[in-house]
Structure 1
Amino acid sequence: MQRLLTASAAGLALVLGAGAAVAQDFRALARQDLTAAHDALRDNHPAAVLPGPASQFFRDWLDAGLADSLAKAAQVNSGDAHAYLMRYYGAGFRDSNIDITPTFEGLGPYFVTGWPGFTTGWRNGAYEVTYVQPGLRGAPPIGAVLVECQGKTAEEMAMVRLDRWEGDLTTEAGRVRSAPYLLWNRNNQWTGGVPGSCKFKNGRRSRDYDLRPQPIEPGTIEAAYRATVYMPGATPLAVEQVNGRPWVHVHSFADSAGWDAFNAQIEGDIASLHGPQGFVLDLRGASGQSYRSTTRGYGLANRIWTPEFTVSRQPAAGEITYRATAGNRQWFVETLARMEADPRFVQESAPVIEETRAIIAAFDAALEANQPLFTLAGRPAVQDTGAPNPVQGQVVVLVDSGCSGGCLDTLDLLTRLPNVRLAGATTATDSIFIERTDVRLPSNYSDLSYGHKAWTSRQRPSHQPFKPAEGLTFTGNPADEAAVRTWVGTLF
């Protein structure tokens, strides 16, 4: 869909259709979509009826967040404003498995309407300058730490300008990935443009700087962001030799990443991966939310370590609690249809298909009995098979704030394997509310996504990230690939 055109403060915009212009009142659309998202979550999300601390914040924000967001809806005057307000409500649940995203070409990571010519990053608990446009005069130097802007501390600025709008600042990952936007104008009318002046501390000295919006040159904003936050390259799956040992790149769990060729490469290099020199498994930036993503990660581990060795080290599935609603049942019906239509999935994952059929039957029984929830036992733990570890050397699993979704599930297994060390930076978080379903909201401009079942017995608590141990945390510039590789080499 084409970008929506900003119209006027009256909240009207023109959306160009097939030969016609249609007036849209984005204030009304925002109110409609907010209410629809609230009702869908109230009626289908497990946390609405499941007792326990993991559910309490959801219930608190469900109504309070709706009231907060509806109060802001009068200011919605464009498609971008609509997208920001929907994101604000979704992010307020503090659950990475709940979000509301635009269906049109929205605000990508490099979108900006104004910037001061430099970028800040989240480094060692502070916002510091990470990039300065070449030739820019009067800017704070790289490494200078933001102190305040016009009477507001850096933390106050971040909470107003970033939290919920650009990320969840209650998490380390949310801080890292939203930090470049702290002083940028991203066309969010609730947070303002580029500040007029800010104070930075460089060493022992503090100094005020006037911030003036700079011209936006092609490629500059992307370069500024990439100089601050690690972003995977164009080839997310690959194996290369670095300093005499394999470096396995897994920067995505998406279906489109090219898994067939990558798995063939892993199998072709298996002797090297098993060698005494060890290898690096690079999961920086890896994400994936589909039902296949965890399967991808476990499949990779099985190819490297063999299923016989990993099976007894996989975390038990334990109990899964389902919210018994017709909408949640329909998700499984549609998922089953996709599974059965995929010949490879039918061949490789027949037990998953049978399990899905059993879940649908359990939905039918619970709905007939008017039960709000039902619980099914998952795969139990498996005793050690006695299979030897085929990997002779040390393994460094490299992670960062971009490791989310299926990446976290994969770490649940990898961190249980011998001679495996987690290194890099703190990962993203997820909740026990898993298996996301998507709902198109009434305006047709936003999709609501949420986890519709609860992994109530998951050993990793809700919202708990993976964090490398002391000595295994990289404190340098995460976007400096040469520095990262040199540092990882010291871990062997």
Structure 2
Amino acid sequence: MIRALAASAALLALTAAAAPAVAQDWRALAAQDLAAAREELKANHPAAVVPGPGDAFRAWVDAGHDLIAAELGRVRGARDYYYVLQGYAGGFRDNNIRLNPSYEPLPAWFAAGTPNFATAWRDGGYVVSWVKPGVRGLPPLGARVVSCDDTPVEQLAQSRLDRWEGNLQLESERVRTAPYLLWDRDNSFSPGLPRQCRFQVGRGQRNFVLTTAFTSEEDRRAAWSASVFTPATPLSVETVDGRSWIRVHTLEPNADWRGFYATVEAQRAALQGPAGLVIDLRGASGLDAEAARRGYGLANRLWTVDFTAPRQPEAGSIVYRATPGNRDWYARALARMEADPLFVSESMPVIEQTRAIVAAFDAAIAAGQASFTLPGRPAVTDSGAANPVQGRVVVLIDGGCTGGCLDVLDLLTNLPNVTLAGAPTGADSIFIEATDLRLPSNYGDLSYGHKAWATRERGHNVPYTPQATYSGNPADEAAVRAWVSSLFAG
């Protein structure tokens, strides 16, 4: 592998942050945590007892461990420890199974070296999206990668990116990982960087020699921003081309939700008006349990609870794997609820429901059952409330809409006059409600869904596909705005 002349300062900082583990320990730590993750998942993950959606889990849980364990001799330090976790988690094809270092992560645009340009996933291929100013001999903007060292670009992407950086079975992950195609990400498990690549340039093809070198963080960040949509403002309400544009580029708890909701309430009459409305959910990832609730808070303020509640997707049947580990998760949650006087006074139905789940675990385990099924939240009766939103609503999405954002779309797509526009979202599995564990080394965390929403209307690992697809540059905000405005004119 062609390596950069020196590791970046960020990588050195990562290794230092992971002290006191010394370099030669990372291989043993990776082996220990890889084995622990496998045993936890085999012992408690519900995919083991759910046919169909659980097939990929059962095929990978042992085979994936053994495949990566056989290559642990490649581990050189903290960065390879990271890729051991990523490579194993990625093979499950389940975005709700996550293995991540517990120490501070590197930024998305990290690279130990680059060829002074970046690629993006556009129109089904890898195209040059950024070139370093003043450097000669680089492919031009818009050039499409054909092959590298006589290896077709798709084969190269599969070997360098799939599982290690993302799930290339998903369009959204193609977009997110595209800048890394020809970057040195300091992954000892991926093939070496190519020496030259062939590009489609206009009507012809040209070869370009790749020279990998250290690139400043400023350049890498610029390259990333030119390749993948990167929102600048988490939450806002603006007026664009005469209509309201609500930006919800995050569902994380640290955003100013109180101020945002207050703005929505103050402008509610205009937002509900006949001119139409844009709800921009690009990049709105949210992985904590309350992420969807924050998105629902916006919907309820626009459409009212009486109108949205009966249009929420039914919970249907929930499958629980009957293991002591899963039972203990609910028992601990119940103990916390019962020890909180405020929770007892305000949320007794939740406590009663959790008590019933613990009792069902006890009965199933005593009977030797592998699993049991309970009904989910019942559907809400439609009160006949009128739709207060008069105009057309365009919901703008992209591959950054993941986690709780998908739950919000489950509701919004059931509302009238709503059009999904943009690019395909991310996907998540039917295995939900996270168990979070620290791995034995203390340098990694495992998260997985411990129950199965067996009858969910949205399929297992199925993204939302827009009804109106944007094929332009997602980093060109002016072009995106013009395109969205054209949807209202049509």
Q: Do these two structures clear the TM 0.5 threshold for a shared fold by scoring above it? A: yes
- 1:179-217 Cα deviation digits (max 9, x unpaired): 000000010112245421100001211000011124412
Q: 1:397 aligns with which of 395, 398, 401?
A: 395
Q: Which amino acid aligns with 1:308?
A: D
* Distance (Å, rounded) in 1 between the aligned partners of 2:101 and 2:27: 15
Q: Which amino acid aligns with 1:441?
A: L
1:201 aligns with 2:197: no
Map of 2:487 onto structure 1: 491
Map of 1:456 onto structure 2: 454
On the 8 A contact 2:434/2:449 being kept in 1, the answer is: yes
**SS of equivalent residue, structure 2 residue 251:** coil
| Deviates most, 118-127 or 339-348 | 339-348
- 1:28-64 Cα deviation digits (max 9, x unpaired): 22221111111100000001122x2111111001111
Q: Which amino acid aligns with 1:152?
A: T
1:210 aligns with 2:206: no
**SS of equivalent residue, structure 1 residue 26:** helix
- 1:434-475 Cα deviation digits (max 9, x unpaired): 112111111111111111100001111111110012xx1110
Provide the aligned length of Structure 1 versus Structure 2: 479
In the TM superposition, what is the alpha-carbon distance from 1:341 to its structure 2 partner? 7.8
1:25 aligns with 2:25: yes
* Distance (Å, rounded) in 2 between the aligned partners of 1:445 and 1:223: 30
* Distance (Å, rounded) in 2 between the aligned partners of 1:99 and 1:59: 16
| Deviates most, 327-336 or 167-176 | 327-336
Q: 1:315 aligns with which of 302, 308, 313?
A: 313
Map of 1:99 onto structure 2: 98
Map of 1:147 onto structure 2: 146
Structure 1 residues 223 and 6: alpha-carbon distance in aligned structure 2, compared to 1, 3 A threshold: closer
Q: So what's the TM-score if we normalise by structure 2?
A: 0.93
**SS of equivalent residue, structure 2 residue 54:** helix
In the TM superposition, what is the alpha-carbon distance from 1:346 to its structure 2 partner? 7.0
Q: Which amino acid aligns with 2:442?
A: N
Map of 2:73 onto structure 1: 74
Structure 1 residues 344 and 88: alpha-carbon distance in aligned structure 2, compared to 1, 3 A threshold: farther
In the TM superposition, what is the alpha-carbon distance from 1:362 to its structure 2 partner? 2.5
Map of 1:327 onto structure 2: 325
Structure 1 residues 227 and 4: alpha-carbon distance in aligned structure 2, compared to 1, 3 A threshold: closer
Map of 1:118 onto structure 2: 117
In the TM superposition, what is the alpha-carbon distance from 1:359 to its structure 2 partner? 2.3
Map of 1:482 onto structure 2: 478
Q: Which amino acid aligns with 2:212?
A: P
Structure 1 residues 149 and 291: alpha-carbon distance in aligned structure 2, compared to 1, 3 A threshold: same
**SS of equivalent residue, structure 1 residue 31:** helix
Q: So what's the TM-score if we normalise by structure 1?
A: 0.92
Question: Please, which runs of 5 or more residues in structure 2 have no aligned partner?
Answer: 1-9
Question: Please, which runs of 5 or more residues in structure 1 have no aligned partner?
Answer: 8-12
Map of 2:283 onto structure 1: 285
On the 8 A contact 1:317/1:379 being kept in 2, the answer is: yes
Structure 1 residues 30 and 393: alpha-carbon distance in aligned structure 2, compared to 1, 3 A threshold: same
Map of 2:39 onto structure 1: 39
On the 8 A contact 1:114/1:193 being kept in 2, the answer is: no
1:473 aligns with 2:469: yes
On the 8 A contact 1:15/1:23 being kept in 2, the answer is: no
Map of 1:306 onto structure 2: 304
In the TM superposition, what is the alpha-carbon distance from 1:371 to its structure 2 partner? 2.3
* Distance (Å, rounded) in 1 between the aligned partners of 2:14 and 2:422: 42
Q: Which amino acid aligns with 2:203?
A: R
Map of 2:3 onto structure 1: none
- 1:365-409 Cα deviation digits (max 9, x unpaired): 333333221111012223432110000000000000011111111
**SS of equivalent residue, structure 1 residue 146:** strand
On the 8 A contact 2:14/2:106 being kept in 1, the answer is: no
* Distance (Å, rounded) in 2 between the aligned partners of 1:295 and 1:202: 47
* Distance (Å, rounded) in 1 between the aligned partners of 2:98 and 2:419: 32
| Deviates most, 21-30 or 454-463 | 21-30
* Identity percentage of aligned residues: 55
Once the two structures are superposed, the pairs formed by residues 127-138 of structure 1 within 5 Å of their partners are 127-138=126-137
Q: Which amino acid aligns with 1:204?
A: R
Map of 1:57 onto structure 2: 56
Map of 2:168 onto structure 1: 169
1:240 aligns with 2:238: yes
| Deviates most, 451-460 or 213-222 | 213-222
* Distance (Å, rounded) in 1 between the aligned partners of 2:132 and 2:12: 30
On the 8 A contact 2:14/2:104 being kept in 1, the answer is: no
**SS of equivalent residue, structure 1 residue 155:** helix
* Distance (Å, rounded) in 1 between the aligned partners of 2:286 and 2:348: 22
Structure 1 residues 155 and 304: alpha-carbon distance in aligned structure 2, compared to 1, 3 A threshold: same
Structure 1 residues 22 and 191: alpha-carbon distance in aligned structure 2, compared to 1, 3 A threshold: closer
- 1:213-265 Cα deviation digits (max 9, x unpaired): 244124110110011101222x3122111112111111111111222221122
Q: Which amino acid aligns with 1:460?
A: R
Q: Which amino acid aligns with 2:268?
A: I
* Distance (Å, rounded) in 2 between the aligned partners of 1:424 and 1:92: 28
**SS of equivalent residue, structure 2 residue 128:** strand
* Distance (Å, rounded) in 1 between the aligned partners of 2:299 and 2:438: 35
Q: Which amino acid aligns with 1:56?
A: D
* Distance (Å, rounded) in 2 between the aligned partners of 1:345 and 1:264: 26
* Distance (Å, rounded) in 1 between the aligned partners of 2:195 and 2:341: 59
Structure 1 residues 298 and 346: alpha-carbon distance in aligned structure 2, compared to 1, 3 A threshold: farther
Q: Which amino acid aligns with 1:32?
A: Q
Runs of at least 4 residues off by over 3 Å: 2-7, 13-17, 21-24, 333-354
**SS of equivalent residue, structure 1 residue 68:** helix
Q: 2:270 aligns with which of 261, 267, 272?
A: 272
